[in-house]
Structure 1
Amino acid sequence: MKRITQLFITLGTFFLMTACGGGGSSDSYTANISVGPTSHVCKSEVTANLCLAGDCSQCQCLSGCPAAPGEAITLSCIFYDGIARVPSTGCTLATTPVRTLACSGTKLFVLDGQGYTRTDVLQGTSFNGLQPYELFGFKFNCGA
């Protein structure tokens, strides 16, 4: 009788833990974090805290992310106080035609069209001088 009772207690505990998601470690932590124009998903509390502190390199970027060197630039240029701060990784400007911009140091490069990599844009028209650059009815700064 004692063994049957122990069996029922063991089985009951097992089913209760299974139903409640307990019984061992869980790798199901996820946090969706938005930092400025970008959204990330972090798979651990440590990486989520780092991302909230500004280092999202260990998290997966969901949207608004700068392109890697060989990827097409898809990040939109973001304006603060009427001036777009163009990152070295590049951004697109929603004009007609669409323009893709990138910076190298304080030099601004522009290429009409979209779907370009940073390498492509650095072959486009360059602007070097006093910032902000005034082009297409907008102002741009490098060094973002």
Structure 2
Amino acid sequence: MNKIEKLMYTLSFLTITSGVMFGLVIIYWMVFPYRVIEWNSDYFPIVTKTATQGGSITFIADYCKYRDMSATISRSFINDIIYTTPESTTQRQTGCHVVNIVVPIPQELPPGNYYIQTVYKYDVNPIRSITLIHNTDQFTVVEAGGKP
């Protein structure tokens, strides 16, 4: 075997090995069961069951977070209509925590009974994101003047 054949054999071996390794990394990224966050209740309890338009509502999040990564959050106020608020980014601490989360009530949100659906999106690797959905308990929005 001359030097050129030996070089071609080595390059072929390295190319095939690199391709197999890359394929294994992609498969691992696609199927690994990432455990990012878990909630310790079925829904987020509301602190005060009544809120005014333009005010705020507070709910309690009881969670255990296992990975140090930020989430893109979108929240929707849901009853007969779905009112979606702009996305935001949050970075919660790892570990188990109980926190109060204050959400502003849009001024233009019609009075009525609502719950908030929060969608958390975690980009766990370059090809995969995990989306988790968690809801609050129901609450009532009243007009800013106090009328239901």
Using structure 1 for the length normalisation, give the TM-score.
Answer: 0.32
Using structure 2 for the length normalisation, give the TM-score.
Answer: 0.31
Q: Structure with the greater relative contact order (CA < 8 A, sep ≥ 6): 1 or 2?
A: 2
